A = this chain, B = another copy of it.
Amino acid sequence: MRLRNKPWAKDFMEEHPDILINEDEEVVRDWKGIFNNENPIHVEVGTGKGQFIIGMALANPEINYIGIEHFDNVIVSALEKAIEAGKPSNLRLLRGNGAHMEELFKQGELDRIYLNFSDPWPKTRHAKRRLTHESFLARYERALKKKGEIHFKTDNRKLFEYSLVSISAYGMILQEVSLDLHVEMPEDNIMTEYEEKFSAKGQPIYRLEAMFNN
């Protein structure tokens, strides 16, 4: 993603602590307190400009959603969208690093993790940075309830091939696989910004659901 410099980003984020949380705030790890209910928690790692997580929050008010994004200049776009959407009470944006999941969530706290159009890190020496590398799967497994699920979409063929093998090698069970999601679009599919763009070009969108076998 091309990152434009947005010098106003920091101030703008600080003006909306009711929906945007920084990973170094003390409140982190008290998600039940933040949402003030016992509803299931679904997390998107790498939430980008937020179209997916905000759409999900609006469509499913009985589920709590947290969108994690590392880059200030990207998460401010998600923040703008969330404000436009009326700041749904079941949504929080978390400015932080997906690799820090151990500090961000208690063990077994989450019900589902979404990965959408993650950076493919095509070079083999960068494989560890892919969000479906075994080191990330181990973080997800810890943060998720037993038999927790990952839902993953991408347009990147090589990343999807890698992810199928990585997820299988980890001992996870593939529950759903689509190799051209938009041919038979599920009614409840909420598109990301990337998904709209690549799908409009006729590129296939790959999707899987996998369950930890623990």
Contacts and interface: CB of A to CB of B under 8 A. Distances in A.
Contacts of A165: 174-177
A168 interface: yes
A177 B164 CA distance: 7
A160 interface: yes
A25 interface: no
Contacts of A206: 179
> By DSSP majority rule, is chain A's interface helix, strand, loop, or mixed?
mixed
Contacts of A161: 177-179
A180 interface: yes
Contacts of A178: 161
Interface string A10-50: 00000000000000000000000000000000000000000
A157 interface: yes
Interface band, chain A = 10 to 19
| A160, A172, A173, A177: most-surrounded residue (chain B CB, <10 A) | A177
A165 B179 CA distance: 12
B179 A174 contact: no
A169 interface: yes
B179 A168 contact: no
B168 A173 contact: yes
A26 B181 CA distance: 49
Nearest to A206: B179
Contact of A179 (B160, B175, B176, B210): B160
A208 to B, nearest CB: 8
A50 B55 CA distance: 52
Interface in A142-181: 157, 160-161, 164-165, 168-169, 172-180
Contacts of A176: 165
A154 to B, nearest CB: 11
A151 to B, nearest CB: 14
Contacts of A164: 164, 174, 177
